[in-house]
Amino acid sequence: MTDTVLDRFLRYVVIDTQSDAASPIQPSTEKQMNLGRLLVEELHAIGIADAELDAHGYVYATVPANTDKPDVPVICFCAHMDTAPDFSGTDVRPKIIRNYAGGDIALGNSGR
């Protein structure tokens, strides 16, 4: 995989993960699982064999030490992903503002 961190971030932020405060289950919406599935798929693609998404929308994976030194622990990656129910995650269109010099940033359609 040759994606940059920015490539990945831009791919992730357009996934609608809005939660539902009225839901009695976790995750509160099925669409929250979409990002989790993508993360697990990408973790597997980079060689993280134990990456998994549980029934509650948490992604778990471990990254082993990359040294021969004794007693170096693994790192656990644990992520729960959703957005607040207050705002829709639909039709997110991220903007990259390079060389930002300060000032107002036009939001929505106002900056086309």
The answer to whether the beta carbons of residues 58 and 79 sit under 8 Å apart is yes
Beta strands in the chain (DSSP E): 52-53, 58-63, 75-80
pLDDT at 100: 93
Phi, psi angles (nearest 5°) of residue 55: -65, -15
pLDDT in tens, 37-67: 999 999 999 999 999 999 999 999 998 888 8
Domain coordinates of the chain in residue numbers? 5-97
pTM score: 0.77
Q: From CA 56, how far away is CA 73, in angstroms rounded? A: 26
pLDDT at 22: 92
